[in-house]
Structure formats: C-alpha cells, structure tokens
Amino acid sequence: MLTHTEALHAVLSAAIPGPVETRSMDLAAGAVLREDLLADRDQPPFDRATMDGIAFSRTAWEAGVRRLTIEGIQPAGAPALRLSEPAAGCFRIMTGAVLPAGCDGVLESEQVLFEETVAQIADTAVWQPHRNVHGQGSDKKAGHVLLAGGCVLTPQRLAIAISAGAASVCVSQPLRAMVVSTGNELVDLGEALAPYQIRPSNAYGLVAALRDYGCRAARKHVPDDLEAMRELFSASVTEVDLILVSGGVSKGLYDFVPRALEEAGVEKIFHRVAQKPGKPLWFGQHPQGATVFGLPGNPVSTLIGFREYVVPWLRRSLGLPDALTEWVTLNDLPASVAPLTGYFPVRKAPDMNHPCAVDLVAYQGSGHLAALAESDGYVVIDPEVVPNLTTAIPVPFRGWGAI
C-alpha cells in the first residue's frame, strides 16, 4: 500500500498540462493564463497626477512664490498643456490628468485657496518636485512581463490584462469531466426515498468542486452492477479527460468499480493508500483516454480524496504550479490517531497570539458529512508527526475553497 506522499507523487506524475485555446477577455475570468502578458507601453503611460490640485514648476516654488496665476485647466483625458510662465504660473489639474509640460509636480487642492485667476498656496504647505505624480513607467516599463503565464485570471489579474490592452488571451482549455455515483442505495433528488436509501450527495459535491476548476462535468449514476458499470466506463472513457467515480472501490461484495474500469481499458496505477479516511482510493489512466479517480464513497472520504489528489492533478493539468502548503496549529489534539496519514476536519480559530490556530470539529468518522458544515477545511497528520505532536507544532491545512 502506498503512503500518501507516494500516491500523490504517482498522481502528479500522471498529469501533464493540457491544450490551450484563445479566449476573449469577456469570457476569460477564472481561466488559467498560459502565456506571458507584456506591458504594451509604460505603466503609467504618462506622468499622471494622483490628486486634484495645481501643477507648477519648481522654479516658482524655489523662488518662494506662493501666489500663482492660473493659466488654464488640465483635465484627465486631455493632451498635456505647456506652462508659459514657470516662475509665476500654474494649472488647475485633476486626478488622472497628464502633468503639463513645464510643471514638476502637483500640490493638492486642500493646500490651495482658489481665487478667480489666482491660486494662493497655504503658508504651511509642503511640496517637492514629483509630489503627487505617478511617474511614467514607474510601475512597469513597456515590454516587461505584467502577468506571467500559469496563473488563474482572478478579477485583479484580469484587470491587469485589460490595462495592457489584451482583447483575448491564451488560456487552458476546459477539461471534459464525468462524475459517476455508484450504489443501489442512492436515489436522486425529486424521487421518493425509502428509509434505507440516501441521496447522491457526493456526485453533486464533486460536480460543484470541478466547476471551481472550469470543468463542466456530466453527472451519471450506475447501480452496483458490473455489466452496467463496464458499459458506462467503456462508452465514456475516450470521450472525457477525467472521470471521478464515487463508491464501489472497497472490499465489499458489490464493489465492482476497479474491475469494471480495468475491463473498460483503464490501467490501474494504484489501489489503496495508507490514509484515514479514504484508504480504498483507486487511481488509473486509459492509454488513449481519461484519467480516473475511484473515490471511496463515504462522503468525507470523497471530498478529502478530491482535495488531496484530484485538485493537485487538476492544477497540473491546467498548467498551474503546485499549491503552497498552508500551515496551522491545533488548539486541541485528536484523541486517537491511526498509524496512517490522518485527515481531521477543523474550523479556523485565529487570535492575535495564534493567528493560524484551528479547532477540531466534532467528527464521528468518514460518514459524518454534516460535520463539514462546521469546518473550514481539514488538517493532515502524518504518522511520523504523531509522537511529537503538540499544540505548538504546525500541521498542513487544506481549505475547502478552490485553490
């Protein structure tokens, strides 16, 4: 049986960055950028006033002149004016306007008394050249990298791309995915339910989780029937990039998923990982088709399996770097830890002295889906850590949100 680290390594080794496509900026939010975006011109493209006020020359200031003739107005969006009397004149200027020629800086309106044609500078005013001026090219020079490929186009990055005039960008193509729930006990929403039946919550959770990575996944269900499973997997394994199966991978009499997958041509890479919950995890790949994760059906195992293994695979396949580990400290320790990598749902409980502290949430095991309502994520406790584990030792934290 592989350790968690070995299993993750096997998953990552099986992932390669997928194909790209060109997308218009209107549709690019949330996509993974796959090219470097360069500044098309200096940023800012001109010496830009950062305050409303007056623009004037250092000549006037250094000569002690504090009463300046207003030669005109320099609004945003207008070409630069030119100061005719550097020793005695000024312009009224607005935020975002280009610094007029012959001016060295801007004094904010709060320090100026405006008369009809004169600006009287307050005695207490302080000023020096370049004040309230955002210098041309001081953020980025034309041709320099503004956004490096291999990042998600979050709203702020999208705004940066737009500032460089990008009308379309090269991004990762969405992966095609299918989520398969298995089990005779599952009854879909809207259908009547007997006391011994349950809702396919895993399938809905996985479809929602995949959406965070730009995948629109088809949702399918198969009963605990080898033939039905083989048929579904054979028909779809070359049609999609990723198949997530929930349930049917343990040692029960009706756990046909591994056999059905192999009979559909999916080659097993590993089955079972030394972890709790989620030990029966199955992973494989079709030589010309999908990568397949068989996630154990207990709801907490399914969601943790997704976060531990599917997310790293997705990131790599989409061309993102591996995520950094977040570290937290536990306010309380788990009562018992098996000699396996353990996952424990936690809630963030930061305070000034312990900014990364978390509390364990009450949790009865991998079937206890409702416990996750109280959690922000879970911690990972490796067996080697256990003998020395205290509330001061940082442990890895995985949040439920998309990363």
Alpha carbons 304 and 302: distance in angstroms, whole number: 6
Sole binder of ligand AMP in the list 299, 305, 319, 345 (CB under 6 A): 299
| 365 is an interface residue for ligand AMP by CB under 6 A | no
Sole binder of ligand AMP in the list 200, 258, 312, 342 (CB under 6 A): 200
Alpha carbons 283 and 293: distance in angstroms, whole number: 5
* Residue range at the interface with Mg ion (CB under 5 A); choices 182-190, 228-236, 267-275, 315-323: 182-190
Which of 185/231 has CB closer to ligand AMP?
185
Alpha carbons 51 and 61: distance in angstroms, whole number: 18
The nearest distance, CB 2 to Mg ion, in angstroms, is 22
Backbone angles phi, psi at 53, to 5 degrees: 170, -140
Residue with tokens 């154990």: 296
- The secondary element (H helix, E strand) that includes residue 260 is helix 257-263
The CB density around residue 101, as the number of other CB atoms within 10 Å, is 11
* Residue range at the interface with ligand AMP (CB under 6 A); choices 91-99, 119-127, 180-188, 392-400: 180-188
The CB density around residue 38, as the number of other CB atoms within 10 Å, is 15
Name which of ligand AMP, Mg ion, none residue 174 binds, using a CB cut-off of 5 to 8 Å depending on partner kind: none
* Residue range at the interface with Mg ion (CB under 5 A); choices 17-25, 167-175, 215-223, 240-248: 240-248
Alpha carbons 357 and 295: distance in angstroms, whole number: 30
Alpha carbons 367 and 392: distance in angstroms, whole number: 30
* Residue range at the interface with Mg ion (CB under 5 A); choices 66-74, 144-152, 239-247, 286-294: 239-247
Name which of Mg ion, ligand AMP, none residue 296 binds, using a CB cut-off of 5 to 8 Å depending on partner kind: ligand AMP
Binding to ligand AMP (CB under 6 A) within 203-222 occurs at: 203
Query: Which one, of 194, 161, 198, lies nearest residue 181 by Cα?
Result: 198
Query: Pattern of binders to ligand AMP over 247-266, x per CB under 6 A?
Result: xx-x-x--------------
Q: Is 157 helix (H, G, I), strand (E, B) or coil?
A: helix
| 294 is an interface residue for Mg ion by CB under 5 A | no
Alpha carbons 176 and 283: distance in angstroms, whole number: 18
| 183 is an interface residue for ligand AMP by CB under 6 A | yes
Which of 107/249 has CB closer to ligand AMP?
249
* Residue range at the interface with ligand AMP (CB under 6 A); choices 49-57, 84-92, 293-301, 322-330: 293-301
